């Protein structure tokens, strides 16, 4: 492997996200087949803890001095021995079939207690200094439960700037050119041709590759689709009406002359989908004034879209600012679009939101 800046970080992040995404898929299957005791805990809880443990253990092995901001803490696992055992069994059985890759990630976690300590390493306050990884072990909780879209997300920030981003999207099609539809992920977990790892390094472009099961398969460069006429654009938004205003998005679409209905999907799969040109715009329009977005919900997707030729800002046109701790407290909502139409979209967004 050529050693350019952040190439080791990218390589480890890809393998760590691959291993964790495969774990979440196996939880979904065991749950669907009834082999996971439903009384124990929700499959999201189990998948979240397992994926977070696997990613942090890989980061600690390779980058022991880095800080980590992750969504979960081990408190509930420390208090519930049955769920703890379920997660521990799963983590022990989640190995990549490529032994060399598994070794690069540091191999198995030593004990159940060290697994709990590893999960709790994700408690960094974040901030504007140093190397900080942001992890969302299962983003799009609701999508995961529906058998739809969800993503395993990992980003590296250095001095508040995202340098590396990786998204594991097990239910998106491998084929970058497949058009975006709402049911793309529904029940697709086992289907052929699903499962993608997206990645980007600052200044080096964005790529996709099949999720696979062993060594990392060949990557393809991805890029946003040029739009000659904004009225032909396809936009994505959350499935959850509580996460993004679906009435404001209709008004913004009208203003831009967009007639196609939105494509609704959960998770950062939205960022990935527009980055590969399967859709054009991603609108996330605040519903509650007091909600602050979390950095782990955006770090990887923000970089992947920008490296694919897009611009990502909040609803006022300000770049997402990852230097303020665990949240994006200086931003409201997200607007992602190809660079050359982004300003046009922001004007429509500001006009609709400003007139409310």
Ligand X SMILES: Nc1ncnc2c1ncn2[C@@H]1O[C@H](COP(=O)(O)O)[C@@H](OP(=O)(O)O)[C@H]1O
Enzyme catalytic residues:
48, 141
Say how far apart CA 322 and CA 1 lie, in whole Å: 30
Q: Which does 238 bind (CB under 5 to 8 A by kind): Mg ion, ligand X, none?
A: ligand X
Q: Per CB under 6 A, does 266 bind ligand X?
A: yes
Choose one: 48-56, 73-81, 132-140, 168-176; the region binding Mg ion (CB under 5 A): 132-140
Say how far apart CA 192 and CA 269 lie, in whole Å: 18
Identify which of residues 139 and 248 has a Cβ nearer to Mg ion in the complex.
Answer: 139
Residues of this chain, 82-141, that bind ligand X according to CB under 6 A: 136, 139-141
Say how far apart CA 34 and CA 293 lie, in whole Å: 34
Residues of this chain, 275-314, that bind ligand X according to CB under 6 A: 287-288, 291, 294, 297
Smallest separation, CB 242 to ligand X (Å): 5
Smallest separation, CB 289 to ligand X (Å): 10
Kindly give, in sequence order, each residue whose CB lies less than 8 Å from that of residue 265, ignoring residues fewer than 6 positions away.
140, 143, 148, 149, 182, 184, 185, 236, 238, 239, 273
Smallest separation, CB 121 to Mg ion (Å): 19
Q: Which does 161 bind (CB under 5 to 8 A by kind): ligand X, Mg ion, none?
A: none
Strands (E), the chain: 67-70, 131-139, 151-158, 161-173, 194-201, 206-210, 220-222, 235-237, 263-264, 281-284, 310-313, 334-338
Q: Per CB under 5 A, does 104 bind Mg ion?
A: no
Identify which of residues 216 and 269 has a Cβ nearer to ligand X in the complex.
Answer: 269
Smallest separation, CB 286 to ligand X (Å): 7
Report residue 239 as tokens.
């499935």
- Binding residues vs ligand X (CB under 6 A): 136, 139-141, 238, 240, 242-243, 266-267, 287-288, 291, 294, 297
């Amino acid at each position: 492997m050529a050693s350019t800046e952040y190439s080791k970080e990218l390589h480890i992040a890809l393998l760590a996200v691959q291993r964790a995404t495969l774990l979440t898929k196996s939880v979904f299957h065991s749950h669907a087949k009834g082999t996971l005791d439903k009384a124990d805990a929700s499959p999201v809880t189990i998948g979240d803890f397992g994926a977070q443990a696997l990613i942090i253990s890989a980061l600690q092995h390779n980058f022991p001095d880095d800080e980590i901001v992750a969504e979960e803490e081990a408190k509930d696992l420390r208090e519930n021995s049955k769920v703890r055992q379920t997660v521990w069994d799963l983590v022990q059985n989640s190995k990549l079939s490529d032994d060399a890759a598994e070794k690069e990630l540091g191999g198995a976690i030593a004990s159940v207690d060290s697994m709990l300590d590893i999960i709790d390493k994700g408690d960094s306050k974040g901030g504007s200094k140093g190397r900080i990884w942001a992890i969302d072990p299962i983003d799009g909780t609701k999508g995961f439960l529906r058998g739809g879209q969800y993503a395993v997300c990992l980003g590296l920030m250095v001095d508040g700037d995202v340098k590396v981003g990786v998204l594991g999207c097990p239910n998106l099609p491998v084929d970058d050119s497949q058009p975006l539809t709402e049911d793309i992920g529904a029940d697709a977990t086992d289907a052929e041709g699903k499962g993608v790892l997206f990645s980007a390094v600052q200044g080096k472009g964005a790529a996709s590759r099949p999720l696979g099961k062993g060594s990392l398969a060949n990557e393809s460069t991805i890029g946003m689709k040029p739009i000659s006429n904004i009225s032909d654009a396809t936009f994505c938004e959350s499935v959850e009406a509580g996460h993004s205003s679906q009435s404001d998005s209709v008004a913004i679409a009208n203003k831009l002359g967009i007639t196609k209905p939105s494509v609704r999907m959960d998770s950062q799969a939205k960022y990935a989908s527009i980055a590969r040109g399967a859709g054009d715009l991603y609108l996330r329009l605040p519903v509650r004034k007091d909600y602050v977005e979390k950095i782990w919900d955006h770090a990887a997707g923000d970089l992947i879209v920008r490296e694919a030729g897009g611009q990502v800002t909040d609803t006022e046109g300000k770049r997402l600012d990852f230097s303020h701790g665990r949240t994006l407290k200086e931003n409201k909502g997200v607007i992602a679009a190809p660079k050359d139409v982004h300003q046009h979209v922001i004007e429509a967004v500001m006009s609709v939101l400003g007139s409310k």
